[in-house]
Homo-oligomer: A and B are copies of this chain.
Amino acid sequence: MTYVSFKADRAHDFTAIGRLCIDLNANEINRPMEQTMTFTKYVGGSPANIAIGMARLGRHTAFIGKIANDQMGRFILDYLQRTGIETENVVTDRSGAVTGLAFTEIKSPSDCSILMYRDNVADLLLEAGEVSEDLIAQSKLLLISGTALAQSPSREAVFQALQYAKKHGTVIAFDLDYRPYTWTSKQETAVYYNLAAEYCDIILGTREEFDMMEVFEQNPEHSDSVTASKWFDYNAKIVIIKHGKEGSIAYTADNKSHRAKSFPAKVIKTFGAGDSYAAGFLHGIMQGWTLEQCMEFGSAAACIVISSHSCSDAMPTESQVLRYIEDCNNGKITAS
């Protein structure tokens, strides 16, 4: 069954709006960051990673965002372009803002953390007037990400993008991507996440992220079906709730829930799992695959990324994902 249908005849399959930043990944891993001496630079930020993932999977992809007028910003722009992403709506800040940073610490495959630099960052300075209505009108699918809601004026830019998407029938996916760092309070966060989610067709998040959104509501048992059903009263068709190692469940407006099998992986770190899953899943949805196929494809894409050192750089092509699934099925890949 097809839960989401896309407008045909549009120049872009996929457009993402929001955070563009730099990951500085520890080269010496399995130790605290205090003992890491060198770092490697990658493009990062959840919507950037997903856009790179979609481009690798062969989708015509565009980005709406703002970069710092410095070496880091120019590196990001150049990387997106080399990945084949349309960057006409990637604006350069002129106020002296910096590029957001994320230093990763990998103490062990399951004990990873991030040290973020999010003060005065360019990506949160995108303005509503800098969002191209035409680009959204020419896209089949728009992805928004929660971090871009954290501050003005980026917050307004996202709400304006939602208005344009609604007006032009562009399907909207919402990757919750909640990072407490830049928010003032849980209440502020919940209010804007809920406002934005009302517009969205596909919502992806962890159980903890949906809990945060329910701070003003009654869901004492943290029931996934209570959570999902609220959004079907608005515009949602698919709500994916992730439960870490226990896997993800996709809820659909027909009151069904869907699970897919998972794959083994030789895990290096957990970063990037959600972004590669989202890219793989959304690619499948656009292909018209069954929900189970989409989830399986997303899971395999995630396995590839968590088996590698980087996030953006490791985003796989379709043939890489298919081969990974085959290798797992053949027993060539097993858990570490």
Write the residues of chain A forming the contact surface with B, with a CB cutoff of 8 angstroms: 24, 27, 32-34, 36-41, 70-72, 74-75, 78, 98, 101, 103, 105, 115, 117, 119-120, 127-129, 133, 152-153, 156, 159-160, 163, 184-185, 187-188, 190-192, 194-195, 216
Is the CB–CB distance between B41 and A41 below 8 Å?
no
Query: Which 10 residue pairs across A and B have the least CB separation, nearest first?
Result: A119-B119, A33-B71, A156-B191, A119-B120, A128-B187, A34-B75, A38-B40, A129-B187, A34-B71, A159-B191
Residue A153 contacts which of B27, B71, B133, B187 (CB distance < 8 angstroms)? Answer: B187
- With a cutoff of 8 Å between Cβ atoms, the chain B residues found around residue A36 in the complex are 41
CB distance from A112 to the nearest CB of B (A): 13
Q: Most chain-B CB neighbours within 10 Å: which of A37, A185, A187?
A: A187
Q: List 8 A-B contacts (CB under 8 A).
A: A34-B74, A37-B40, A37-B41, A98-B119, A119-B119, A133-B216, A160-B216, A163-B194
- With a cutoff of 8 Å between Cβ atoms, the chain B residues found around residue A32 in the complex are 71
Q: Most chain-B CB neighbours within 10 Å: which of A40, A103, A191, A192?
A: A191
- With a cutoff of 8 Å between Cβ atoms, the chain B residues found around residue A37 in the complex are 40-41
- With a cutoff of 8 Å between Cβ atoms, the chain B residues found around residue A38 in the complex are 27, 38-41
Task: For A77, give the chain B residue with the smallest CB separation.
Answer: B34
CB distance from A103 to the nearest CB of B (A): 8
Is the CB–CB distance between A160 and B191 below 8 Å?
yes
Is the CB–CB distance between A115 and B41 below 8 Å?
no
Given known pairs A119-B120, A188-B128, the reply for A195 and B34 (CB within 8 Å) is no
- With a cutoff of 8 Å between Cβ atoms, the chain B residues found around residue A190 in the complex are 128
Residue A159 contacts which of B39, B117, B195 (CB distance < 8 angstroms)? Answer: B195
